[in-house]
Amino acid sequence: MAPTRKLSGYLVAAVVVAALSLALASALVTSAQGGVGQISVVNLISGFNVPVVLQGNNYTLPTGLWPTYYGPSSAALYWSAGDISSDQPVLELVPAEKNSSGALFWQAYYLGGTISMSVLATYSSGSSLVADGIVFYLLLKPTMWGVEPQYNYSIAYLHYIANANTNKPQGAGGSPVAGYVIVPQSSEPYLLIQWDPFWRYWRHGFNMTGATGQWNIFIVNNPDNSTASVAPSPSPNLGSPYAGWDGVGLGYFQPRPGDVLNITVVYNPATGLLSGTAQDESTGQVATFSLNLSGYFRPNGPGYYVFGVGAATGADYANWALLYLSVSGVSTVPPIVTSTTTVTTTTTATVTLLTMTTTSFVTVVSPTTTTVTSTSPTTIISAVTSTVTKAVLSTSDLLSIAAIAVAIVAVALVVALRR
């Protein structure tokens, strides 16, 4: 069926890009002052590439019923809710139920520069207007929980962003449109960014002066997990009684069941610029935002932090799910600092990229199990070789390598999508 082909073709392209990025990563030199690094957290070849913890929330109570993995034998149950014929595995973050949320978290070493987080997301079933979209968590420093097995489905969190320690659905220092978002404990403030397609379709959405788009941005304080606050307060664009930037940006859309959503957020602490783009790859519709956080937020510099991606629902809902997730500007380990001035090295990175037939699949797995399933692999790229003559790569060096990567990816995508 057409929906199945649409999903398969786009996901093959995403896998090609992810695999090439990971293969080239070993050839990039980083420094303690910043650098280039990428972690593919969830991909459709090897599942989870780093340890993660999951957390579900059902109205006001924690639950271990979701996030839920739908593998090859059960994926049809997820897709059939929207009359879509597919066996593509997904990680369902939250079910199609009211007042729910779910998220996954992982730890990484932040290199001190720009952070970019990207997901491919979708849903198969929801209310007539779907809500409350995808949530990104940046730069958490938890002290009451960690990315360790004992905290799976049991992290320290509060359950609602609008008024994090009560059951009130809106106001009291929060957003009028956000849903029941998970708010983890952290000893330091962190960024919570949400693309919520309910904005601009909610009956009051057009009437709120200052609400121009579909993005919510909050600076969250939850140091002791007994009460939480959101900054700035009052809201710079909506005013009192709200907090944070609510419904900001340009463009808006309501996705359809089965649409592939390509959502990216980027934060540059050097300039203070935070931006995001949500694009429906099936229709081409886009919702964006750009915000300067200077004077409001800045991380303490390089070090280990926790990052996350989640989803939320409120009175309206959808069974939001992940197909792919990666983050750049971080590393699994601290970078090695070199003090030499001139070193000539030749690095050969062999890259074997796979494309699948429309009936093949690869899986996203639970945190404790790794499962990889594929059929009809075809090698479309064999090797990439680069020679680097500097101990520390400059910006121009990195851009040159990136340009080579883009060129190779372009060829790979053409081959993959023609198959």
**Confidence at residue 152, expressed as pLDDT on a 0 to 100 scale:** 96
Instruction: Work out the average pLDDT over 268-295.
Output: 97
Dump pLDDT digits (tens) for 356-393.
333 333 334 344 333 333 333 332 223 333 333 333 44
pLDDT band at 72 (very low <50, low <70, confident <90, very high): confident
Q: Which CATH architecture has domain 34-331?
A: Sandwich (2.60)
| Residue given tokens 């960024």 in the structure block | 191
**Confidence at residue 43, expressed as pLDDT on a 0 to 100 scale:** 60
Task: Specify burial of residue 52 (Cβ count, 10 A radius: 0-12, 13-18, 19+).
Answer: buried
Q: How far apart are CA 54 and CA 42, in angstroms?
A: 13
Instruction: Work out the average pLDDT over 205-222.
Output: 92
pTM of the model: 0.74
Distance of CA 283 to the CA centre of its chain: 21
Task: Specify burial of residue 91 (Cβ count, 10 A radius: 0-12, 13-18, 19+).
Answer: buried
For residue 82, pLDDT beyond 50:
yes
Q: What residue ranges do the domains of the chain occupy?
A: 34-331
